[in-house]
Every structure is written in C-alpha cells, then in structure tokens.
Amino acid sequence: MDKFLETAIEEAKKGRLQGGIPIGSVIVYKGEIIGRGHNKRVQNGSVVLHGEMDAFENAGRQPASVYKACTLYTTLSPCSMCSGAILLYGIPKVVIGENKTFSGDEALLKSRGVQVDVVNNKICIDLMESFISAHPELWNEDIGE
C-alpha cells in the first residue's frame, strides 16, 4: 500500500482508539509529510476538525507555493467543508482511501481542476463500516444529518 495512505490509516486508527470517528489524513509536500491528523469531534468536541482539517491545522501556516505542490491523503471521501479547504489552499491532488461508505464533494473538486484518485482500500472501508454500525448517531452528526 502507498505509505502515505498507510499513515492516514494509522491516524484513523489512532482516532478510533480514542473513541473518535476513524478518519485520518496526511498532507505531503515533496515526498515528506508536513501535516497529519484525524477527526476530533468526539475527543475535542470540535465541529470543524475533520481528519483533513486537522491535518491542515497541524501543517500550520504555509506559503501558497507549498500548498500548491502538496498531495492530500484522506481515508474517506472529503465532505463539502474539507473539499472547500482543499480548494481554498489550492491543493492540486487528493488521494481518497474510499468513497463507498460516504461520497463527499469529489465532483466539485474535479470541476475546479483537482486531481482526485479513489483507491477504495478495504481497511478504510472496514473502519468506517464498523464505526457507522456501532455509532450511527455520531456519524450522522459528523456529516450534518
């Protein structure tokens, strides 16, 4: 498996062990991870720190030239908010672990020129299926439903 997707999955599992929603993300610049994170809804009571947002936050303030050369990896198809952050910072490429359990705003990303690669990795799917079946109310809250 791609080592960066593997690290995103590690983040998702870390979140799950903390009792959180198992979605992880890493941001990669020139072959190095500059930010990594996982969903913090349960752990921090955060409604903005989805996995991708947490990775952005942990990457910290970066110049536009860095963002524009990054690839973002996420274990799950990015929702509207995370897709919007990807567009705001001009991330040109997104690798998505899976979009079977949730289909985010991939069409918007593509329509604005972002390269979107969907892997449909079994570990990513299993993590979400098992979480959604155990905690449907938390998952619905996380996607505003």
Active-site positions read 52
HSE value, Cβ hemisphere, 13 Å, CA-based, for 106:
17
Q: How many CB atoms lie within 10 A of CB 28?
A: 23
| Distance of alpha carbon 13 from alpha carbon 126, whole angstroms | 11
Closest approach, Cβ 31 to its own copies, in A, equals: 22
The verdict on 107 binding its own copies (CB under 8 A) reads no
The verdict on 113 binding its own copies (CB under 8 A) reads no
Among candidate residues 80, 36, 144, the one with its CA nearest the CA of residue 23: 36
Spatial contact of 109 and 116, defined as CB atoms under 8 Å apart: yes
Of 8-67, which residues contact its own copies (CB under 8 A)? 41, 45-49, 53, 56-57, 59-64, 67
Closest approach, Cβ 50 to its own copies, in A, equals: 9
Spatial contact of 22 and 15, defined as CB atoms under 8 Å apart: yes
Is residue 120 helix, strand or coil?
coil
The verdict on 84 binding its own copies (CB under 8 A) reads yes
Is the Cβ of residue 87 or residue 132 nearer to its own copies in the bound state?
87
The verdict on 69 binding its own copies (CB under 8 A) reads no
**Interface with its own copies (CB under 8 A):** 41, 45-49, 53, 56-57, 59-64, 67, 79-85, 87-90, 105, 108, 140-141, 143-145
